[in-house]
A = this chain, B = another copy of it.
């Protein structure tokens, strides 16, 4: 950044507070807290001493409490993990869909420190019948289409919940979690869209059946048909994706050499390659990749220097490929609620 300019968050909604990260200007592996995007379903919860006790409830409804100080005394993991809102880039869908009109800034990443969830659970709690684990945040409110007051609540299948990298985190970038990002406890679920990383975590419940709830089986579902709800399936892992950070869309450049750069990430394996096109997809060049070294989950940074000798207009595309063989598609996977946008990233520039 420079001493004059502060690229702030972009407000999409005041209540609840939804604000986008200035992603085009983030060049670090660890996004400073002040540039981390904010995504809320409800007003910020008002915390008290109860929130420092995590409730664990087993399949027989037996309750147990774990205090923050107990977590602090346990062995921890630190992982650099991007959190991406499932609605990131929703504004790009056509036909347009309802919901916050996120552009590319509903993603941020940094260093999360916490205790692997599985180390918090006892064998007696994880019975043979256990099927899912439900996570409840302290945030609650009314929700269109649902009766009464509902808390934010999501479940994970057992195998994901017990993955060694699924953390109950209490630090971000070596600082205690901030109140706006889940203080004192936030579930961190690497590779999944961020609706799974429940903030203000207060209750962990092991259940012997499939969980259903408005944030699990109504929202955060892909409904691929425009006119009916058939063929729906849940939003889970991140799609392979990339964002061109610079140059900005529709900018005017001097002729000469310019750096084209951005980030790329995936929820399955690692980013293997990022390809860039300067002729609207006819030919592609591999970008140089730079990895944080810190974590396999981290986004990668990519760049390419190019001489723009000819005056005129260019369409620049970026396309990430992951180690599971997935490639960003030319067209987005349209769905009613606008989740998981990952079509090829595109900017137009004019060289004068």
Contacts and interface: CB of A to CB of B under 8 A. Distances in A.
Interface of A: 1-2, 4-15, 17, 19, 22, 24-25, 43-44, 96-101, 142, 144-145, 180, 248-254, 313, 348-350, 352
20 contacts: A2-B14, A4-B15, A4-B17, A4-B180, A5-B15, A6-B11, A7-B11, A8-B9, A8-B11, A8-B19, A10-B10, A10-B22, A11-B22, A96-B348, A97-B250, A98-B251, A98-B350, A101-B249, A142-B254, A144-B352
Given A1-B14, A145-B352, A352-B144, A250 B9 contact: no
Given A99-B252, A101-B249, A352-B145, A43 B4 contact: yes
Contact of A248 (B1, B12, B19): B12
A250 B99 contact: yes
A336 to B, nearest CB: 11
Contacts of A101: 248-250
Nearest to A254: B144
Contacts of A349: 98
A313 B96 CA distance: 12
A5 B22 contact: no
A35 to B, nearest CB: 10
Contacts of A22: 10-11
A8 B10 contact: yes
A19 B11 CA distance: 13
